[in-house]
A = this chain, B = another copy of it.
Amino acid sequence: MTIAPVACLDQVPTLVEPRIRDLLGRLDPRNGRVAAYHLGYCDADGAPSAAGGKGIRPALALLSARAAGQSPERGVDAAVAVELAHNFSLLHDDVMDQDTLRRHRPTAWAVFGPAAAILAGDALMLLAHDALADESRPGGAKAARRLATDVHRLIAGQAADLDFERRDDVSLDECLAMSADKTAALMSCACALGALLCGAPAAVTRGLSRFGEHLGMSFQLVDDQLGIWGEPGRTGKPVGSDLRARKKSVPIVHALTSGTAAGEALRALYASARELDEADLVLAGRLLEESGSRDWVQGEADRHLIRGLDELAALELPAGVYDDLFGLARLVTGRDH
């Protein structure tokens, strides 16, 4: 099997970015500049740069159109909508979490202030809707509803995530549901939306949707591990950042609810009022390994990836589409090296 994730990712700058830049041109210049900075199209002074994300979600949306037997061009509006919705949520999340770094650069609110970042996020959410509203194809209304549903899930997931920081009785099931809402919903949306826009049969969009949901869970579980054990070169975030912020990510909640001595020791560490120092972070990482949480999370990430691929394999996809989706799935879940 040939794995060529780069080939389908390469279509994002050529097919999707120009359309996003067009849409940014509709915005008030102030909001447009903050959005362009956040998307990596320019630096803080407005000078052109190329510091954007990998474009995983738009690449999935283009492949979704191909999965429905259409050209990737037919998935462009879906790709644009998903990418804008994703970046709306990043802009707002960074304000809410007071994160100062993303993709190795200062976050938009850190550069332009929280108000400007909130407004730019609002504007991107509207543009995401606009991208599908321009759509006169029969699948347009369905696609718009699907996007709205998944953005509602995204917002609910973020609300749960913030709520968990204040609670010490979060169950593993709650935590997994939060991850599904916060991350898997929009990834599932990306995988289904291109096919939906093309009016694909329900069985195809359902299979793609399930693939995306599993892929999103696998991605989030891997990301949760990276939030604890690094690597900053990959994430652009410092090692231990989730622990330092006392986040209740899945590995942490798994340990806290494991009934093990290591889990109880982690609970005591989390309950202390003081700021966690480097030694605490090393200790917390070790407790998570001793409680079996690191292995369990890795196992769940693998299981979701395999179940997602099973969903794909059950579909009769046009030549090359399975391979490209498989390649992207490897990339997303850190199995590409």
Contact = CB atoms under 8 A, between A and B. Distances in A.
Interface of A: 26-28, 30-31, 88, 92, 95-97, 114-116, 118-119, 121-123, 125-126, 129-130, 133, 141, 144-145, 148, 151-152, 155-156, 158-160, 162-163
Copies of this polypeptide in the complex: 2
A155 B96 contact: no
Contacts of A130: 148
15 contacts: A26-B152, A28-B156, A31-B156, A92-B122, A96-B119, A118-B118, A119-B158, A122-B125, A122-B155, A125-B126, A126-B148, A126-B151, A133-B141, A133-B145, A133-B148
A126 B248 CA distance: 27
B123 A30 contact: no
Contacts of A121: 122
A220 to B, nearest CB: 18
Given A129-B148, A145-B133, A123 B155 contact: yes
Contacts of A126: 125, 148, 151-152, 155
A31 B118 contact: no
A160 B160 CA distance: 33
Nearest to A92: B118
A184 B247 CA distance: 42
Contacts of A156: 27-28, 30-31
Contacts of A152: 26-27, 123, 126
A88 B158 CA distance: 17
Given A27-B152, A31-B159, 9 more contacts: A26-B152, A30-B163, A31-B155, A96-B119, A115-B162, A119-B155, A119-B158, A119-B159, A121-B122
Question: Could you say which of A118, A119, A145 has the most chain B C-beta atoms within 10 Å of its C-beta?
Answer: A118
A148 B126 CA distance: 7
A162 B26 contact: no
Contacts of A162: 115-116, 119
